[in-house]
Amino acid sequence: MKSLNGSARALVDTTAGEISREIYVNDDIYREEQERLFARAWLFVGHESQVPNAGDFLVSRMGEESVILTRDRAGKVHVFLNSCRHRGMKVCRYDDGNTKSFVCPYHAWSYDLDGRLIGVQDFENSYRPPFDRTDWGLVEVAQLAIFRGTIWATWDKDAPSFDDYLGEARFALDLGLRPWDGGDGETEVLGSIQKWIVPCNWKLIAENFAGDALHVVSHRSVDMVGIGPTQGPGRRDDYGRPHLAAYPGGHGVNYGITPPVKERSNYTASPVTAAYFQRCWEKRLARLGDKAGIVPLIGTIFPNTSFHLQQPRTILVSHPRGACETEMWRIYLVDKEAPEEAKRFLRLYYIRYSGPAGMTEQDDMENWSYATSASRGRIARRYPYNYKSGLGTEAGRDPVIPGFATPRNTSEQNPRILYKRWAEYMDAEDWSAL
Ligand code: FES
Ligand SMILES: [Fe+2]
């Protein structure tokens, strides 16, 4: 297979619930994704708490591109392509830090925090008009949005606003990114980003988070060991009744709904954390009423930003590195106001659960990487994957939670909608066709 040539829909039959293995292992399709998907969609770049002060920077990624997230002297957040306009050198080779300007290590072109080219070696003697330094600043993203502390960007000036891109999935992010008391306070990133590489296609991760309740069986051993915040077995707190919802933009969320009762603390392994969450819960009940018990537990904002927004509370970006290789970046979020002891406790709990050494994450990584190696062969590729669970059982809409709901938590509705959107991107020439 050379190129899709407008035929992605033929590989992704979401009506029958069958998807060709090619889209997970084929290098040509992977290359086309970089152009048609990652160069167009809104992508997660970082969190405001990672660049609180002027001159703070963080090197992040958008698809395969390295980008610099920084805050200029006026406090404005920017996202630049991390590639020098002179001869392409990676301008910033550090993970994060604070600087007055970005000086390219190769021939020392220097850029201000707002991306302007301010220094060119031997400028007065060697460069003549019409060379104009103002034309050679760092390449900046076409659009940037900040949503409850999270920073998103797109390279496509014709992309819709971030709000329109989210559509009704905004409900999930808006609820999930608030502090646990349901107010307008801040959350912050705990420690640094955890980064590791998994030999699988990024879409296996995106669909898993978008709504794959069937795979919970693979975490049986973790449930038995008990890595959770409660004394005894279990790996998380009580999330109540699950509710799957999918969105036409390709986003999928698995909500947990608990009744808005007065007592709600499962953090018996840490009394300080338990008391903090109980205080938060009372405020949350007062603020959000019946909606207090709705939490976006797990989800994916299309294409590759996944999250757990109850506990553990993390954002996971699956950065593509090749058809069969993904670089996973995880951050852990915590309420800024939480007591230090609760932050310490949560950090350890989150790491036990998620991240490269996290026990739940290891189950998932094993599944994704073996599924990939067992799907690469010429024979294996002839047989599509099966996404038929819940076909024909879509329920329509819930009165409170927006999105297409399904009565069966084991439905593969959310992955089906994610792949439908994927095929639309791959076949569309530009945003007007999307
Ligand atoms: S590549 Fe950056 S100054 Fe030459
Ligand atoms: Fe999992």
Which residue, judged by its Cα, is nearest atom 3 of ligand 1? 107
Are 105 and 12 contained in the same domain?
no
In a domain, 97, yes or no: yes
pLDDT greater than 80 at residue 312: yes
Cα(103) to centroid(ligand 2), Å: 42
Q: What is the pLDDT of residues 45-68, one digit of tens each?
A: 999 999 999 999 999 999 999 999
Are 24 and 49 contained in the same domain?
no
In a domain, 274, yes or no: yes
Cα(50) to centroid(ligand 1), Å: 27
Are 27 and 83 contained in the same domain?
no
More confident residue, 7 or 163: 163
Are 173 and 110 contained in the same domain?
no
Distance CA 325, CA 359 (A): 21
In contact, 354 and 308? CB cutoff 8 Å: yes
Torsion, CA 77, CA 83, CA 89, CA 91, rounded to 10: 0
Are 83 and 209 contained in the same domain?
no
Are 101 and 128 contained in the same domain?
yes
What is the predicted pLDDT for the residue at 204? Answer: 98
In a domain, 346, yes or no: yes
In a domain, 151, yes or no: no
What is the predicted pLDDT for the residue at 264? Answer: 75
Are 262 and 289 contained in the same domain?
yes
Tokens encoding 219: 């975490």
Check which CATH number belongs to the domain holding 239 and give it.
3.90.380.10
Question: Closest ligand to 117 CA?
Answer: 1
In a domain, 82, yes or no: yes
What is the predicted pLDDT for the residue at 5? Answer: 66
Closest CA to 154 of 163, 145, 146: 145
Atom of ligand 1 nearest to the CA of 88: 1
In a domain, 2, yes or no: no
> Which structural domain range is residue 385 located in?
8-38+166-433
Q: What is the pLDDT of residues 109-148, one digit of tens each?
A: 999 999 999 999 999 999 999 999 999 999 999 999 999 9
Atom of ligand 1 nearest to the CA of 91: 2
Which residue, judged by its Cα, is nearest atom 1 of ligand 1? 87
pLDDT greater than 60 at residue 189: yes
CA 182 to chain centre: 21
Atom of ligand 1 nearest to the CA of 104: 2
* Percent of the chain residues past pLDDT 90, beyond the cut: 86
Check which CATH number belongs to the domain holding 61 and give it.
2.102.10.10
86 Cβ below 6 A of ligand 1: yes
Peptide bond into 160 cis (omega under 30): no
3 confidence band (pLDDT: 50, 70, 90): low
Are 25 and 55 contained in the same domain?
no
CB under 5 Å of ion ligand 2: residues: 364
Cα(231) to centroid(ligand 1), Å: 56
Q: What is the pLDDT of residues 349-363, one digit of tens each?
A: 999 999 898 999 999
In a domain, 159, yes or no: no
Are 107 and 197 contained in the same domain?
no
User: In 3-state terms, what secondary structure has residue 409?
Assistant: coil
Tokens encoding 203: 């879409």
In a domain, 215, yes or no: yes
Distance CA 421, CA 392 (A): 19
109 Cβ below 6 A of ligand 1: yes
Are 222 and 108 contained in the same domain?
no
What is the predicted pLDDT for the residue at 261? Answer: 82
Domain count across the chain: 2
